[in-house]
Chains A and B, each alone.
Chain A
Amino acid sequence: MTVTSAKPILSRDLSGVRQVISVNDLHAFYGESHVLHGVSFTIREGEVLTLLGRNGGGRSTIIRSIMGLVDRRRGSIEILGHETISAAPFQIARLGVGYCPEERGIFATLSCEENLKLPPIVDDKGMTLEKIYELFPNLAARRRTLGTQLSGGEQQMLAIARILRTGARILMLDEISEGLAPAIVDSLSVTVTTLRDLGYTILMVEQNWDFAAPIADRFSIIERGRIVMELETADLEKNVSAVNHYLGV
């Protein structure tokens, strides 16, 4: 991944907006291995934060830690004012956090519609099934199809659609553009931009720069389990070489 054009497409003033996620000195472990070493950051309501960095640096682990999916974690993770460091994953999800995992996580033994209806509703302001099928007409046509018989693009749409139905306002999107055809990445980009404009708070892990750059308000670069650089989209241009230093192969 190389940062080429760093046009500040978006520069929104989010100062004074309340924080919905506040992570403080987060440490995470898989078995004996210590993966995150004291990560701290905040996300404001309606903000899009993208985590960049090389593979294995701990970006996905940050999302997995927030969802409670690591073996052990320490520090503080406040979501909408609730401390969740020792909460169970389902309790975290029910605070209104929608999780779209790496590899999409579509259940093979469930039909498309069963996958869609699986996560419990957390807020009645979520999208109705009709609205979702309007937004993703492909899914409507394949509602009886088993999860794994959907194409990669359809699975990705389904993975996003199912968390929109719950009314979750905070989205964790882990490498959602990975392994998809360019045309599908483009339509995914439109979808995520729409969600941003609708005021969803989004934490994204992305490998695809062209996908991430136009959507994010802010970037954090993660290396060896630490945040090594944080910058606003507006400052990107000045820092292209520094960013490339961290991301370059």
Chain B
Amino acid sequence: MSIFNISSQVFLGQLTIGLVNGCFYAMLSLGLAIIFGLLNMINFAHGALYMLGAFAAWFGLVTFGVSYWCALLLSPLIVGLFAAIVERFFLRRLEGLDHLYGLLFTFGLALALEGIVLDIYGSAGLSYAPPSQLRGLLDLGFMRLPLYRAWVVAVSLAVCFGVWFLIERTRYGSYLRAGTEDAHLAQALGINVPLLITLTYGFGAGLAAFAGVLAAPIYQVHPLMGSNLLIIAFAVVVIGGLGSTLGAIVTGLALGVIEGLTKVFYPEASSTAVFIIMAFVLLLRPAGLFGQETA
């Protein structure tokens, strides 16, 4: 079987890689979108927090022998706590100032975190082996899929759905949606918005760290692993619609797949495809595919 003279193995291989990348785009964009919605601030530190998640897993394994499974739980907790502290004692002081200050602060924080890790571990990149249970190939009949990639896709989709459910269907989510729409009014109705902001920033960071742990066995654990991904995650948030949960998830997955397929059909464009799509969406639907048009 071949499509446009391309073997189905190559096609399906790139499709899988695209889907895996899409899962990371979706998880990072989801956190960015939630934070942007409530704090009205673009979190430039998001990529660095993702990187910290991966490094925490690596460090835990090498130093204390913390297993992958424990790291999947612990790393987001530690990074989330760190981010919550950063929000409470640093970002909160910038409240009421131009949002540019928050952007500059998080940009500086990202540079500092990446610089520190770079200084300690160098730029060679470290490897993190997948856990023994997830090594090997899954034979689907028409193709062989590395078991770890299947796991990443499955767990990412579950996490994205879980976060979507939490935001759109639960009481905590209704606080978040109300705060996102009008933080002042939500607070005047008795909601502890300052605490909500701290928890939300910590949660978004935890989600990034979770993605970082998942990514560790696939990509190299590298101090700058987040900064490349972050640019695409920004594009995803813009295409999906600023602050839209569903938009971030669907767009993240779709862009990963589109990027993967571009590699098959026209490899030269693969790294720019996302941005070409972003330009078109901005021209035709400035609020994004899932965003609400506001006056």
Taking Cβ atoms with an 8 Å cutoff, the residues of A that contact B are 67-69, 88-90, 92-94, 99, 101, 105, 107-110, 114, 117-120, 122, 162-163, 166
B160-204: which have CB < 8 Å to A?
171, 174-175, 177-178, 180-182, 184-194
* A69 touches which of B175, B177, B188, B191 (Cβ 8 Å): B188
Proximity string of chain B (189-227) to chain A, C-beta cutoff 8 Å, 1 when within and 0 when not: 111111000000000000000000000000000000000
User: Which residues of chain A are near B177, meaning CB under 8 Å?
Assistant: 107, 109-110, 114
Closest to A67 in B: B188
User: Which residues of chain A are near B181, meaning CB under 8 Å?
Assistant: 107-109
Judging by beta carbons under 8 Å apart, are B180 and A109 in contact? yes
B254-271: which have CB < 8 Å to A?
none
- A38, chain B: closest CB distance, angstroms: 24
Judging by beta carbons under 8 Å apart, are B190 and A90 in contact? yes
* A88-B194, A108-B181, A109-B180 known; A93 vs B188 contact (CB < 8 Å): yes
* A107-B181, A109-B177 known; A118 vs B189 contact (CB < 8 Å): yes
Provide a sorted-by-A list of 22 A–B residue pairs whose CB atoms are within 8 angstroms: A67-B188, A69-B188, A88-B187, A88-B194, A89-B188, A92-B188, A93-B189, A99-B188, A105-B185, A107-B186, A109-B180, A109-B181, A110-B177, A110-B178, A117-B171, A118-B174, A118-B178, A119-B191, A120-B190, A120-B191, A122-B190, A162-B189
- A167, chain B: closest CB distance, angstroms: 11
| Distance in angstroms between the alpha carbons of A122 and B190 in the assembled complex | 9
Given contacts A89-B184, A120-B191, 12 further A-B contacts (CB under 8 A): A69-B188, A89-B187, A89-B188, A90-B187, A107-B181, A107-B186, A109-B178, A114-B177, A118-B186, A118-B189, A119-B189, A122-B190
- B156, chain A: closest CB distance, angstroms: 25
User: Which residues of chain A are near B171, meaning CB under 8 Å?
Assistant: 117
Judging by beta carbons under 8 Å apart, are A93 and B190 in contact? yes
* B191 touches which of A68, A90, A101 (Cβ 8 Å): A90
Interface of B is mostly: helix
Closest to A103 in B: B185
User: Which residues of chain A are near B180, meaning CB under 8 Å?
Assistant: 109
Interface of A is mostly: loop
User: Which residues of chain B are near A119, meaning CB under 8 Å?
Assistant: 189-191
Judging by beta carbons under 8 Å apart, are B188 and A101 in contact? yes
| Distance in angstroms between the alpha carbons of A94 and B190 in the assembled complex | 6
| Distance in angstroms between the alpha carbons of A101 and B182 in the assembled complex | 12
Closest to A168 in B: B190
User: Which residues of chain B are near A93, meaning CB under 8 Å?
Assistant: 187-190
| Distance in angstroms between the alpha carbons of A120 and B182 in the assembled complex | 16
- B180, chain A: closest CB distance, angstroms: 7
| Distance in angstroms between the alpha carbons of A114 and B181 in the assembled complex | 14
Closest to A109 in B: B177
- B189, chain A: closest CB distance, angstroms: 4
User: Which residues of chain B are near A89, meaning CB under 8 Å?
Assistant: 184, 187-188, 193
- A29, chain B: closest CB distance, angstroms: 13
| Distance in angstroms between the alpha carbons of A164 and B116 in the assembled complex | 53
- A123, chain B: closest CB distance, angstroms: 11
| Distance in angstroms between the alpha carbons of A236 and B174 in the assembled complex | 45
| Distance in angstroms between the alpha carbons of A119 and B193 in the assembled complex | 12
- A203, chain B: closest CB distance, angstroms: 14
| Distance in angstroms between the alpha carbons of A69 and B194 in the assembled complex | 14
